[in-house]
């Protein structure tokens, strides 16, 4: 008699994520897992990236609890976008990406941005098959976020700090913010930007081009 | 033979929440479950409430993934505050409140504000024994939040919209926001405030006093 021991949710997720990563690599695509609080400007960041580097062939997966508001926005700008609604789920799973990819036109794409559900906690625990984990805090959330939600910042390959145009209005303390990131993540770049004024977006694009190779 | 069917996590949570509610009622206290995104201004809202109504005897439970930054802030203002760290958990559970209460000085208190973990999704599913569910979006998160995260707004007894001082800087569309709330919640008040300028805090305090009776 043989007793099969079931795999954990996390093990299954990791296996599927690896298959997604292999699939993307075969297509010549790097995945970017975009993680942030609700309202940090994730969709505006995707739009700014596309505007500043229209030559980088981009496809997008939008993860939301409800609505397709962001997908409609991105499709309006000619970006191939696939909507996932989690119906209450607080993060995406690799299986959702694996199911989405065959339904998308990936021809010629180099970059897949996966906009995760707005949440600074749970998304960090689930590999989606990405090559880049990006955390997008905004100055409007305050300078203490890396202190209070360290796990996501620890895992980030890049931290892009959005809404720099609001710095003075909210009294953002950059040194305290950077200190919080450096407590858990000594090396990843911290790139301040404003998707409204496009300040700093060129620095982000340069980093992205280096990673895409 | 009798097979005991285990209770679900949610059933156990609901039972403990009811016991917490009974315990609070015996103490003459109403619990307020404060739910919001990271950085919406939850602790500033508690401070503003205490400042505007110092005669309402207040105690606080602070829920955070990590750090006791907010507890230190509130204790500095003389507010009895108990810190819960969830170590990665994305919401509080009734059991955490039940364990905290015997460690707090509740003598004379009328209001217990429970600052939940910063998250617009999961906290809504877990009763903590509160009498009031309050959602605190901020204009900086954008006017589409009730559309994208309907569940929490549906359950709210009051929606307090914070950071009104940033309205112009972020281009907030109040009609679209209110429409999103009303799609799922026809009756609960929507109270615009700024914890920075104290605009509207008097309206919130009036509503609170009516509830406290």
Q: How far B9 CA sits from the closest chain A CA (Å)?
A: 17
Contact predicate A71/A46, CB 8 Å: no
* Residue B4: burial class (beta carbons within 10 Å; 0-12, 13-18, 19+): exposed
User: By a Cβ cutoff of 8 Å, what residues of chain B touch chain A?
Assistant: 37-39, 64-67, 69, 88, 90, 117-122, 125, 138, 140-142, 144-145, 147-151, 163, 165-166, 169-170
At residue A2 the predicted structure's pLDDT band, cuts being 50, 70 and 90, is: low
Phi-psi region of A201 (alpha: psi -120 to 50; beta: other; left: phi over 0): alpha
pTM higher than 0.80: yes
For an interface test with B, which of A70, A121, A124 has the most B Cβ atoms less than 10 Å from its Cβ? A121
Mark yes or no for CB contact B151/A117 under 8 Å: no
* Residue A138: burial class (beta carbons within 10 Å; 0-12, 13-18, 19+): buried
**Chain B residues close to A149, C-beta within 8 Å:** 38, 65-66, 118
Q: How far B44 CA sits from the closest chain A CA (Å)?
A: 11
Contact predicate A142/B44, CB 8 Å: no
For an interface test with A, which of B37, B41, B121, B126 has the most A Cβ atoms less than 10 Å from its Cβ? B121
Going by their DSSP bridges, the two strands A80-85 and A58-64 should be labelled as parallel
**Which pLDDT belongs to residue A3?**
57
Across the A/B interface, how many CB contacts are shorter than 8 Å? Answer: 108
**Which pLDDT belongs to residue B6?**
75
Contact partners, residue B27, CB within 8 Å, separation at least 6: B106, B109
- Range list of β-strands (E), chain B: 30-35, 58-64, 80-85, 111-115, 132-135, 158-161, 190-192
Q: How far A39 CA sits from the closest chain B CA (Å)?
A: 4
Give per-residue pLDDT as tens, A28-47.
999 999 999 999 999 999 99
Give per-residue pLDDT as tens, A81-118.
999 999 999 999 999 999 999 999 999 999 999 999 99
Average pLDDT, chain A: 96
**ipTM for this model:** 0.93
3-state secondary structure of A170: helix
Q: Which of B65, B141, B148 has the CB atom closest to A65's CB atom?
A: B148
Q: Which parts of chain B sit beneath pLDDT 70? A: 1-5
In angstroms and rounded to an integer, the radius of gyration of the C-alpha atoms of chain B is: 17
How crowded is residue A89: how many other Cβ atoms within 10 Å of its Cβ? 17
Contact predicate A61/A115, CB 8 Å: yes
At residue A7 the predicted structure's pLDDT band, cuts being 50, 70 and 90, is: confident
Q: Tokens 């990791």 belong to which residue?
A: A14
**Chain A residues close to B67, C-beta within 8 Å:** 144, 147-148
Q: Which of A67, A90, A121 has the CB atom closest to B147's CB atom?
A: A67
Domains parsed from chain B with CATH numbers: 9-207 (3.40.50.300)
């Amino acid at each position: 008699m043989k007793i099969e021991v079931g795999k954990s949710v996390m093990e299954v997720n990791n296996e599927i994520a690896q298959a997604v990563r292999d699939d993307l690599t075969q297509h010549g695509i790097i995945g970017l897992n975009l993680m942030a609080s609700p309202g940090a400007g994730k969709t505006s960041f995707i739009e700014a990236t596309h505007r500043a580097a229209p030559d980088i062939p981009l496809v997008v997966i939008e993860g939301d609890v409800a609505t397709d508001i962001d997908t409609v926005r991105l499709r309006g700008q000619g970006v191939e976008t696939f909507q996932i609604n989690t119906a209450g789920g607080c993060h995406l799973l690799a299986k959702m990406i694996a199911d989405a990819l065959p339904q998308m036109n990936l021809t010629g794409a180099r970059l897949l941005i996966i906009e995760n559900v707005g949440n600074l906690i749970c998304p960090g625990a689930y590999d989606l098959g990405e090559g880049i984990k990006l955390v997008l805090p905004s100055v409007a959330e305050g300078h203490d976020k890396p202190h209070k939600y360290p796990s996501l910042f620890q895992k980030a390959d890049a931290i892009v700090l959005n809404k720099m145009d609001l710095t003075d209005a909210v009294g953002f303390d950059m040194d305290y913010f950077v200190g919080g990131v450096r407590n858990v993540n000594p090396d990843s770049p911290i790139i301040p930007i404003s998707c409204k004024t496009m300040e700093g977006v060129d620095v982000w694009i340069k980093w992205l081009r280096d990673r895409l190779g």
